[in-house]
Amino acid sequence: MARSSNLLSILLAYAVAFLGCLLASEAADGTLALLAFGLGGGLLCALTLVRSRTRLLLPPLLLGLSIAVFSGSAGSSSPMRDWLLARGLSPEDVRQIVHAFRKSVHVAFYGAMAGTAFLGLRRVPRLAQPGAWALAWAMGHALVDEGRQLRTPGRTGQPLDLAIDLAGALAGLALAAWLLRRRRPKPARN
């Protein structure tokens, strides 16, 4: 019971931190109180994780918090686009570079989230199907990310991004499983 309540307290602290980060990133005036709320919840998550067998869940939790911050206007491509245009690139070249970079980030980010969640969840006692839970974790965040972008000025939530996120999450799970198989000791030959 203590282990399941520990996992529940981690998830509760994470939910508080995620909500805090969402709210902080929405604040037009940069309200530090909301940002502190998100960061405080994140610190609570980190402290909870350090004391438990589930400390390997810290990377996917931190990745999730970064989605809460950057799925809003803070994740807009405008600064990147402006920087590239200032370097003398044509608008078409900039559009292609930004597009390719952002889609690559989706694959890498959700791959890292699902892979690290799988590595952490497989150590949780009596948790069946850690790969399925890791995939659900990554795709739940993808849905929040794309849904939020639909209502954020300057952002566009796209179904294609969900498919790209899913491909990245599946690739991350496959990589994590492959790494685990490689680490297993090989049977001795006679």
The 10s digit of each residue's pLDDT in 92-133 is 999 999 999 989 999 999 999 999 999 988 877 777 899 999
End-to-end CA distance of the chain: 45
Residue 11 lies in a domain: no
Residue 98 lies in a domain: yes
Contacts of 4 (CB under 8 A, 6+ apart): none
Whole domain around residue 164: which residue ranges?
A: 56-183
Residue 152 lies in a domain: yes
Q: What is the mean pLDDT of the chain?
A: 81
Dihedral (C-alpha) 57, 58, 59, 65: value to the nearest 10 degrees? 110
What does residue 16 show for φ and ψ, rounded to 5 degrees? -65, -45
Residue 155 lies in a domain: yes
Residue 156 lies in a domain: yes
Nearest of 36, 8, 10 to residue 23 by alpha carbon: 36
Nearest of 63, 54, 42, 55 to residue 127 by alpha carbon: 54
Residue 15 lies in a domain: no
Residue with more model confidence, 4 or 39: 39
Residue 97 lies in a domain: yes
Residue 100 lies in a domain: yes
In the chain, the number of structural domains is: 1
Nearest of 67, 21, 25, 26 to residue 44 by alpha carbon: 21
